[in-house]
Structure 1
Amino acid sequence: MIKAVIKQFIPEYHNTKDRNVRERYCVLAGALGILCNLVLFAVKLTIGRLMNSISILSDAFNNLSDMGSSVISILGAKMSNRRPDREHPFGHGRMEYIASFLVACIIFIVGFELLRSSIDKILHPEPVRFSVVLVVILSLSLLVKLWMFSYNRYMGKQIDSTVLRAAASDSLNDVAATAAVIVATVVGNFVAFPIDGIMGVLVSVLIMRSGFQIAKEVADRLLGQRPDPALVKELSDRILSYDGIIGIHDMIVHNYGPGRNFASVHAEVSDDCDIIKIHEIIDAAEQAIFRETGVAMVIHMDPVSLNSPETQELKKLVAQIISEIDPSLTIHDFRITKGQSRINVIFDLVVPIEATPARRKEITSQIAERLRAADPRYTAVIQVDTSFVS
C-alpha cells in the first residue's frame, strides 16, 4: 500500500539522491503520521465522551501529542533542504540530524514518564477493570501504529533518513506500549500481582533504550563517521579510471547531511607528464564525479618518479620492510634526495587510526633502523599519516 501512496504523491520517487525527492518523502511520512494520529484522536475522543471514559480520553490526547514527531519530521525536512547561505556555505543538511535528536529526546521522555507511572502502579496497585470496548479501540490503535512503523521504516531505508527511522521507532514504541496495556487489561483480571505496572516498566525500558540508540546514531553522524566503504570504492574506481592517474591516497570524505558529501584526495601522476593535460583530466574527473555521484570532489596532483630505477628499488625495499613490521601499513609520496654522505628516503607512512603515539614512534624507529642496516647512507624522513576512509 505504501508503495502505491509514494508513487501517487512523489514524482521521480526512485531518484532518492535528489534533495527535493528526499524532502517529499519526509513530508509525506509526516503528513501520514499527522493524519493517522488525528483519526485516532477523533475516534477515541468521540467514544470516550460517549462512554464517559477517562482512560480512553487520555489515550486520545496521547495520540494528539504523538503528532509532535510527525511535525518535527516535516520541519526537519524543510529546513535541511534550504539552500546554502553566507553563514552556512555547506548547506543545512544536518538539520535533519538535529530533528532526529529532538525525536529521540521525545521518545526518551515518554519512556521515562511511563517508567515513573509504572513504578507508582507497582507501589500503589489498583484493580484493572476489563472493558471490551477499550480492548477493541486499543487493538485498532495498535494496527494503525504498526502501519505507521512499517511505512516510516520503509521510507527511512529508501532515503537513508535518521528522522524517519526515529519516527519508526516512536511508532514501534507505541505498539509495544499499547500491546502491554491490552495484555495487562486482559490478564489483570486473573492475577493478583500488579501486571500493568510490571509490563509498563519493561516497555518503558525498551522505549528509553530506543531513544538512546537514536540519539547515539545522530551524535555519531554529527561528530563525523568513517564514510561508507561502497562510496569510497566507487570514488576510487572512478578516479583511477582516468588516463594518467596511477594511484591515489589521503582521501577524506566530509558529510554535511544526507546527500551532501564533500571529498578530497591526492592523485599520483608521473613527474614527467604534461601538467596542462593532466590538469584538464583531473578537472574532468572532478566534474564527472559531482555530476554522477553528487560528491563535490577536490583532487590534488602528487607527482611521483617512475623513471628512476634507484627510486623504484628503494621503494620496493621500504615496502618490504613495512610489510614485515605490519602488513596493514602503506606508504605514498615516496622520493629520495641525495647529499654528499647520505641519501634521504622521504615518504608518508599510513598507520591504523587506533595506533597509539608510542606505537607510531616504535614503527618509524624500526623502519629507520632497518634502512640504515641495508645501507648506512639511508636516512628515513617519515611523515606519519592516518587513513580517514578505511
Structure 2
Amino acid sequence: MTEFLIRHFVKDYEQTEELEVRTRYGTLASLVGIFCNVLLFAAKAVIGLLMHSISVTADAFNNLSDAASSVIGLVGVKMAGKPADSEHPFGHGRMEYITALVVSFLVIEVGFTFLKDAIGRIRQPQHMEFSALSIVILLLSICVKLWMSVFNRTLGRRIDSKVMLATAADAIGDVVTTSATVFSLLFFSATGWNIDGFVGLCVSLVVMWAGIGIARDTLRPLLGEAIDPEDYRKITAFVEDYDGIVGSHDLIVHNYGPGRNMASIHAEVPNDVDIETSHEIIDRIERDAARQLGMFLVIHMDPVETKDEKILAVKRQAEETVAAVDPRVSIHDLRVVEGKERVNVIFDMVVPYGYAEDEERKLVKKVRKKLQQIDHRYQCVITVEKSYMAQGEEE
C-alpha cells in the first residue's frame, strides 16, 4: 500500500533530493494522516460515548490531535517549500521544524487535559457498558496505526525527514495507548472491575511523553546539531577524493531545513602548487558538491608542506606525542618556523567536548613538555579547538 501511494501520488518519487519532490512526500504523508486520524477519531469517539469510557475518549481525542498535527504539518510543508527570497536567502525549510514544534505543544495539551479527566474518573468512577463490536473496532484501529507507523517511517527514511520519523514513533505510541484501552475493556468484561480511569491516566501520560519527544526532536535542528559522524566521513571523503587535496579538517554544517544544508571545510593543498591551480580545484569541488551532495559548500584553502622532510618529521613527532597523551586528540595546520636557537612549532589541536578549560591547559602543557624532551629548541604555539562532529568523535 505504501509503495502504491508513493508511485501514484508523488511525481518523480525517485528524485528525493529535489525540494519539490520532498514537498510532495510531505503533502502525501499529511493527507494520509488527516484521513486516517479523522476516521479513527470518529469511530473511537462514538465508542467512548456509548461505553462511558474516559480511556477510549482520550484515545479518540489523541487521534484528533494527530489529525490537527497533520493539518499543521501540511501547512508547514507548503511553507517550507517556498523558494528563497531577499529576506530568507537560505529558504524557508525550517518552517517544517517550527510546525512540528507547534504540533508537539498541541499533543502535550491534549494529554494534560485528559490527565485531569482521568484523575476525576479515578476519584468518581462511572458505569461502563461493554461491547464486543467496540473491541473489534479498536483492534482495527491498532492495525491502522501500525500501518501508519510503517508508512511514515518509510517516507521519513526515504527523504530523511525528522518530522515523519517522529510521526512514525507517535503512531507506535498510539498503538500502545489503544492496546491499553482494549485491555481495560476486556478486564472490565471479565472481572467487572472498572480500571478505566487508571488506564486513561496512563494513556494521557503516554500522549504527553510523545509530545515531549516530538518537541525534543525538533528543537535539536532548530538549536543547531553537531554533524553526524557518517555525514562527516561522507563529506570529507568527497573533498579529499580530488587530486590536489591532501587532507581536510574543520568541517561545519549548518542546517536550514530538510535537504537544505550549507557547509564549510578547510581543504589542505600542497604549498608548492600554483595558487591558481589549487583555487581552480577548490572551485570545482564546490560546484560538484552543489550538484552531487545538494549542499552549498564553502572551502577554505590551507597550504601545507608535503616534501620538506624536516618539517614532515616534526609533524610526525607532534602527532605521535599528542596520540600518546590522548588518542582522542588530533592536530592539523602544523607550521614550523626555524631559527638558530629555537624552532617555533605552530599547530591546532582538536579535543573532545568533555575537556574542561583546566584540562585543556594541562593537555597543552603536557604536549609542550614532551615535545621539548624530543628537542629542547621546540617552542610550541598551540591553539585548542573542538570538533563539530556529534559525540566529539574525530577522524
- Secondary structure of the 1:146 match is helix
Are the counterparts in 2 of residues 44 and 60 from structure 1 also a CA contact under 8 Å? Answer: yes
What's the % identity of the aligned pairs?
Answer: 41
Q: Which residue of 2 aligns with 1:327?
A: 327
Alignment of 1:68-107 (within 5 A): 68-107=68-107
> In structure 1, what residue type is equivalent to 2:112?
F
Are the counterparts in 1 of residues 44 and 138 from structure 2 also a CA contact under 8 Å? Answer: no
Q: Which residue of 2 aligns with 1:279?
A: 279
**C-alpha displacement at 1:237, in angstroms?**
1.5
Alignment of 1:238-317 (within 5 A): 238-317=238-317
Counterpart CA distance in 2 for 1:184 and 1:67 is 25
Q: Which residue of 1 aligns with 2:231?
A: 231
Distance 1:114 1:58, change over 3 A: closer
Aligned residue pairs total: 387
Counterpart CA distance in 2 for 1:284 and 1:322 is 34
Q: 1:269-292: per-residue Cα shift (whole Å, max 9, x none)?
A: 111101111111111111111111
**Range with greater deviation from structure 2 (104-113 or 286-295):** 104-113
Q: Which residue of 1 aligns with 2:336?
A: 336
- Secondary structure of the 1:17 match is coil
Q: Which residue of 2 aligns with 1:121?
A: 121
Are the counterparts in 2 of residues 344 and 381 from structure 1 also a CA contact under 8 Å? Answer: yes
Distance 1:197 1:222, change over 3 A: same
Are the counterparts in 1 of residues 59 and 177 from structure 2 also a CA contact under 8 Å? Answer: no
**Range with greater deviation from structure 2 (327-336 or 153-162):** 153-162
**C-alpha displacement at 1:134, in angstroms?**
3.5
CA RMSD of aligned residues (A): 2.6
Are the counterparts in 1 of residues 40 and 60 from structure 2 also a CA contact under 8 Å? Answer: no
> In structure 1, what residue type is equivalent to 2:216?
K
- Secondary structure of the 2:191 match is coil
* TM-score normalised over the length of structure 2: 0.89
**C-alpha displacement at 1:34, in angstroms?**
2.2
Distance 1:192 1:266, change over 3 A: same
> In structure 2, what residue type is equivalent to 1:287?
R
**C-alpha displacement at 1:59, in angstroms?**
8.2
Are the counterparts in 2 of residues 248 and 267 from structure 1 also a CA contact under 8 Å? Answer: yes
> In structure 2, what residue type is equivalent to 1:184?
S
**Range with greater deviation from structure 2 (309-318 or 35-44):** 35-44
> In structure 1, what residue type is equivalent to 2:314?
L
Counterpart CA distance in 1 for 2:183 and 2:373 is 76
Q: Which residue of 2 aligns with 1:215?
A: 215
> In structure 1, what residue type is equivalent to 2:376?
P
Are the counterparts in 2 of residues 100 and 162 from structure 1 also a CA contact under 8 Å? Answer: no
Alignment of 1:9-24 (within 5 A): 9-24=9-24
1:154 and 2:148 are equivalent in the alignment: no
* TM-score normalised over the length of structure 1: 0.90
> In structure 2, what residue type is equivalent to 1:380?
C
Counterpart CA distance in 1 for 2:369 and 2:169 is 56
**C-alpha displacement at 1:196, in angstroms?**
0.7
Alignment of 1:166-181 (within 5 A): 166-181=166-181
Consecutive unaligned residues of structure 1, counting only runs of 5 or more, are none
Q: 1:303-351: per-residue Cα shift (whole Å, max 9, x none)?
A: 1122322212222221221121112221111111134532211111111
**Range with greater deviation from structure 2 (283-292 or 153-162):** 153-162
Distance 1:298 1:183, change over 3 A: same
Are the counterparts in 1 of residues 51 and 128 from structure 2 also a CA contact under 8 Å? Answer: no
Q: 1:331-374: per-residue Cα shift (whole Å, max 9, x none)?
A: 11111113453221111111112211111101111122223333
**C-alpha displacement at 1:66, in angstroms?**
4.2
**C-alpha displacement at 1:214, in angstroms?**
1.8
**Range with greater deviation from structure 2 (70-79 or 80-89):** 80-89
- Secondary structure of the 2:267 match is strand
Are the counterparts in 2 of residues 17 and 159 from structure 1 also a CA contact under 8 Å? Answer: yes
Are the counterparts in 2 of residues 118 and 197 from structure 1 also a CA contact under 8 Å? Answer: yes
Counterpart CA distance in 2 for 1:272 and 1:349 is 24
Q: Which residue of 1 aligns with 2:384?
A: 384
Alignment of 1:28-107 (within 5 A): 28-40=28-40, 53=50, 62=61, 66-107=66-107
Distance 1:247 1:140, change over 3 A: closer
**C-alpha displacement at 1:235, in angstroms?**
1.4
Counterpart CA distance in 1 for 2:108 and 2:51 is 25
**Range with greater deviation from structure 2 (359-368 or 175-184):** 175-184
Distance 1:356 1:136, change over 3 A: same
Counterpart CA distance in 2 for 1:385 and 1:165 is 34
Distance 1:36 1:272, change over 3 A: same
Are the counterparts in 2 of residues 104 and 166 from structure 1 also a CA contact under 8 Å? Answer: no
Counterpart CA distance in 1 for 2:203 and 2:59 is 20
**C-alpha displacement at 1:64, in angstroms?**
5.1
- Secondary structure of the 1:188 match is helix
Q: 1:168-196: per-residue Cα shift (whole Å, max 9, x none)?
A: 34444443343333332332144354311
**Range with greater deviation from structure 2 (213-222 or 150-159):** 150-159
**Range with greater deviation from structure 2 (256-265 or 136-145):** 136-145
**C-alpha displacement at 1:9, in angstroms?**
0.7
